[in-house]
Amino acid sequence: MSNPIRLARRVAELARCSRSEAEQYIEGGWVEVDGQVVELPGHMVTDEVVEIVAGARPQPIEPATFLLHKPAGVDLHAAAGAIADLLPPANRWDGDTTGIRMLRKNFQRLASLVPLEPEASGLVVLSQDGRVRRRLVEDIATIEQEFVVEVEGLLEPWGLSRLGHGLSYEGRPLPPCKVSWQNETRLRFAINGPRPGQLRHMCAQVGLQVVSIRRLRIGRIALAKMPVGAWRYLPVGGKF
């Protein structure tokens, strides 16, 4: 039996490449050990059969961004240390047409962006891409978000107009937004940069109690038909 060596070293010998290129082959999911993909360069091998998948290219892994249909009751702030647990491979939406290959490295150091209160459901963004983070942190006040809010109670006179313009939150006047009835119990909001708790407070000011909140869209990126708990990749070049 041979002495154990790191997989990266074995791949470097097989491909006659540098150690850094060998690690890119491995982390890119292009290396099989006894027929199983291994993505850890430090994996130790002895006499196992190590193969590089045909068509493999050693290249850096691009940072990933995930779009998740968050279930109501999930607190992303509390789950910050285990965000990847919300993205099990089995829950990848079958409507994801990006063609992006799932890689172990995609699920590391993810940040939850554009806060959504725990009781709400709908579209959330989980990303390791610094460009996406900057966009959704620095420019969030100018990015329109769309919500469906189920309500109960009796809307006060001129309440719909006041929801669109004339209310305040946390002592500050709110900028105008677009509000309409989707049906008899659901309001549709198109609003820039809402803060957690704001929609509930707005509805309360016009005599309505919120039953549920679901976010449908952030900028140009929509929830689409993803079921609750499903996720997909943000397409390459996708912009909010």
Report angle CA 213, 214, 215 to the nearest 5 degrees: 125
More confident residue, 47 or 128: 128
Mean pLDDT of 127-150: 95
Q: What is the pLDDT of residue 35?
A: 87
Name the fold adopted by 65-140+221-233: Alpha-Beta Plaits (3.30.70)
Query: Given pLDDT bands bounded at 50, 70 and 90, which one contains residue 122?
Result: very high
Has domain 5-52 been given CATH number 3.40.190.10? no
Query: Given pLDDT bands bounded at 50, 70 and 90, which one contains residue 59?
Result: confident
Question: Fold identical between 5-52 and 144-218?
Answer: no
Q: What is the pLDDT of residue 60?
A: 87
Q: What is the pLDDT of residue 80?
A: 67
Q: Where are the domains of the chain?
A: 5-52, 65-140+221-233, 144-218
Query: How much helix, strand and coil, in percent to the nearest 5, is found in the chain?
Result: 25, 30, 45
Query: Given pLDDT bands bounded at 50, 70 and 90, which one contains residue 207?
Result: very high
CATH superfamily of 144-218: Alpha-L RNA-binding motif (3.30.70.1560)
Q: b/e map of 54-86 (b: 16 or more CB within 10 Å)?
A: eebebeebebbbbbbbbeeebebeeeeeebbeb
Mean pLDDT of 189-214: 96
pTM exceeds 0.95 for this model = no
More confident residue, 27 or 127: 127
